[in-house]
Chains A and B, each alone.
Chain A
Amino acid sequence: QSVLTQPPSASGTPGQRVTISCSGSSSNIGSNYVYWYQQLPGTAPKLLISSNNQRPSGVPDRFSGSKSGTSASLAISGLRSEDEADYYCATWDDNLRGAVFGGGTQLTVL
């Protein structure tokens, strides 16, 4: 049972825009930055979004993040076949005094 709630799956066709949601509480998303990761099979999570909406160097601007209250979202526009992966949200939790994660969303490009 993950602290942050993500849909287990999402899908879209090439060129579409898809969004993945991440729901938490006031002790985590509500008061801390949200991070988003892309994980391809057999590889370490790759940072896509930090500090709610900041893209590290090298991440395409097709990826964007937003946060409102105790929820956050990752949007992927111009969907491509190589975007097929697992996506995780993460943040800090003030009660746990540690990092917490969503359960992950498996994105399928149809």
Chain B
Amino acid sequence: QVQLQQWGAGRLKPSETLSLTCAVYGGSFTGYYWSWIRQPPGKGLEWIGEISHTGSTNYNPSLKSRVTISLDTSKNQFSLKLTSVTAADTAVYYCTRRLRYWGQGTLVTVSS
């Protein structure tokens, strides 16, 4: 059974960098795409981007200039960095294996 466990800072100030990490347990890391999705409070879901097990990335055009997704295959982990955050980036962030397996979510609040 594939499980994703994520962690990272939950409170940031405007202009800081959001940093989250997701560890994959119980399944192969290779052969799959690993994604980040977010959900602002009271709103719907937004795909942020993904990375393949080989390191190939694809990002949502609306966030591309600020997003970096990376992976550490030795630890079966992948990470999200989002620079220059604003209040509009306040959301619950989820790590996923494409659309099938989801982490528990991390609420990130951006406030001065």
Q: Which residues from chain A sit less than 8 Å from chain B, CB to CB?
A: 2, 35, 44-45, 47, 50, 88, 90-92, 96-104
Residues of A within 8 A of B99 (CB): 35, 47, 50, 90-92, 99
Count contacts on B: residues with CB < 8 A to the other chain: 21
Q: In the complex, given contacts A50-B100, A92-B99, what are 20 additional A-B residue pairs having Cβ atoms less than 8 angstroms apart?
A: A2-B44, A44-B94, A44-B103, A44-B104, A45-B94, A45-B102, A47-B100, A47-B101, A91-B99, A97-B58, A98-B49, A98-B58, A98-B59, A98-B60, A99-B35, A99-B98, A99-B99, A101-B44, A101-B45, A101-B47
Majority-rule SS of A interface residues: strand
Task: Assess A98 versus B100: contact at CB under 8 Å? Given A44-B94, A44-B105.
Answer: no
